[in-house]
Amino acid sequence: MGPARRLSALEQDVWAVFRQATKHDPHVYVGDVHASDPEMALLLAKEQYARRDPCVNLWVVRYSQIFATDYGDADMFRPATDRSFRFGGSHRDQQRVYREAGRRRDDEE
């Protein structure tokens, strides 16, 4: 993994906007605004990204505060070895045992 890369913004005053649609949802990056301070960034974010889509909460983050991996390093997200143990598919039998566990006793009663 290369060094953490600061996203370069042409200007100091670019903010990334994250919108949370409902309290059940995570905040999701939706786009940018230009603003000179957080209050202005939030106000513009509300106008630009929450005038139609549902929203309960907004975050704004200065671009200069975001650190990112490099697209050139995207290979590192590809598993080097078999990682099927991370996924449900390799435990299908166990899933059946688990699902049927309660059912058998229910039938007996």
Partner 1 sequence: MSDHTHTEDPERLAEFEARVAAGEQVETGEWMPGEYRQEALRLIQMHANSEIMGAMPEREWIPRAPTLSRKMALTAKVQDEVGHAQLLYRVAETLGRSRVQMIADLIEGRSKFHNVFHYPAETWADVAVIQVFVDGAAMQTQGALRSSSYAPYARVMKRICYEEDFHIRLGLDVYRTLADGTPRQRAMLQDAITRWWVPLLHFFGMPDRVSPHTEKMLRWRLKVKSNEELRQQFLRKFVPIIQEAGFTVPDPALRWDEASQRYAYAEPDWEELKRVGRNQGPKSAERLALRQDYHRRHRWVREAVERWGLLAA
The distance of closest approach from Cβ of residue 90 to partner 1 in the complex, given in angstroms and rounded to an integer, is 30
Q: Which is nearer to partner 1, 20 or 64 (CB)?
A: 64
User: Cα separation of 34 and 45, whole Å?
Assistant: 9
Our finding on whether 37 is near partner 1 (CB under 8 A) is yes
Q: Is residue 32 at the binding interface for partner 1, with CB under 8 A as the rule?
A: yes
User: Of the listed pieces 12-20, 76-84, 85-93, 98-106, which binds partner 1 according to CB under 8 A?
Assistant: 12-20
DSSP state of 92: H
User: Up-side HSE of residue 109: CA atoms within 13 Å toward CB?
Assistant: 5
Q: Is 34 in the site for partner 1 (CB under 8 A)?
A: yes
Judge whether 62 and 11 are in contact, CB under 8 Å.
no
- Are 20 and 55 in contact, with CB atoms under 8 Å apart? yes
Residue numbers at the binding site for partner 1 (CB under 8 A) = 5, 7-8, 10-14, 31-38, 40, 47-48, 51-52, 70-72
